[in-house]
Amino acid sequence: MKTIHDFPRVPLCAGPTPLQFLPNLSRKYGKGIYIKRDDMTGVGLGGNKVRKLEFLLADAKAKGADVVFTTGGAQSNHAMLTAACCGKLGMKTVLFLKERGVTEEKGNLLLDRLLGAEVRFVDTDDYETVYAEMDRLAEELRARGRVPYAIPLGGSTALGALGYVAAMEEAYRQGTELGVRFDHTVCVCGSGGTAAGVALGTYLCSPATKVTAVAVDDAPFGEIVEDLMAGALALLERSGEAAPLPEIRYHVGAGYGIPGPEVTAAVEELARLEGIFLDPVYTGKAFAETLSLLREGDFEGENLLFLHSGGAGGLFAVDLPAK
């Protein structure tokens, strides 16, 4: 068996991120509510992708890559953070972004430009077309002696998911230091890697904790997360172990990247009570779902941990509707 510490990793995350008690929210709902500040991972504007990139870019380096490809929506946090991390490591980035959503040069697209990433828009609704474009450019670059390395959507591979096994090991250790045992951990599910890593890290470090992943897109996340967990277990040489799957709750609303008024209300509630900003595409939806769990009394147990996975760039690009 291996542990996450047996894998090559480039140190990108700025040490342990804070794990904070939320006193005003806790008082309001009569529970112990905590937040893991992975919006403070210390690269770009912070966010969960830095955790995955520690493992993925170590692999890219080991393979001698000099240019990294990845993809996402026009306002992809993952694409922006890939560009930021690759820049630090001296690798060029080509971002294949779906020409959908907010394509003006604001939010993450502005940051992509400041970071010097090459942005190629692909006018398509499916990622197969994007991956075909990537393959074409990879061939072209290889013929010229370059070494491209492609990271799929959200960095959600088994190797990337190990980033969240590491993050949860850190979070539960911080909980122990504070003398808190979490009954329930809530995270966002956008491409599945974070949810898979959170569920696996919880199984390994805090098996009595229930995990809920709030899906912000319509995809069969039950299967996607199960496959990623199986892959990550295989990497850890623990194939076949029965790590419990997270509960998946869908909170998509009108569609991926489109927040409803309840998202505005959730973003405002955390900002006003605790001075912490969520984003409109991911954490705002997950937090809206968490608030309804708390309001409807569906949250069993005493202590809840909410994973803040970042996304600040989206606040400056995606409009929050009036409540």
Q: How far is the CB of 275 from ligand PLP (least distance, A)?
A: 18
Residue nearer to ligand PLP on the CB measure, 73 or 175:
73
Q: How far is the CB of 161 from ligand PLP (least distance, A)?
A: 8
Rule CB under 6 A: say whether 193 interacts with ligand PLP.
Answer: yes
By annotation, the residues acting in catalysis are: 76
Residue nearer to ligand PLP on the CB measure, 54 or 279:
279
Q: How far is the CB of 77 from ligand PLP (least distance, A)?
A: 3
Given 191, 206, 264, 290, the residue binding ligand PLP (CB under 6 A): 191
Given 17, 48, 108, 303, the residue binding ligand PLP (CB under 6 A): 48
189 φ, ψ (degrees, to nearest 5): -125, 115
Rule CB under 6 A: say whether 47 interacts with ligand PLP.
Answer: yes
Given 65, 311, 315, 320, the residue binding ligand PLP (CB under 6 A): 311
Given 283, 299, 306, 317, the residue binding ligand PLP (CB under 6 A): 283
Residue nearer to ligand PLP on the CB measure, 259 or 311:
311
Site residues for ligand PLP, window 149-168 (CB under 6 A)?
Answer: 154, 156
Rule CB under 6 A: say whether 279 interacts with ligand PLP.
Answer: yes
Given 70, 75, 77, 93, the residue binding ligand PLP (CB under 6 A): 77
Print burial letters for 234-244: b (CB count within 10 Å at least 16), e (below 16).
ebbeeeeeebe
Rule CB under 6 A: say whether 189 interacts with ligand PLP.
Answer: yes
Only one of the segments 90-98, 202-210, 255-263, 307-315 lies at the binding site for ligand PLP (rule: CB under 6 A); that segment is 307-315
| Site for ligand PLP, rule CB under 6 A | 47-48, 77-78, 154, 156, 188-195, 279, 282-283, 309-311
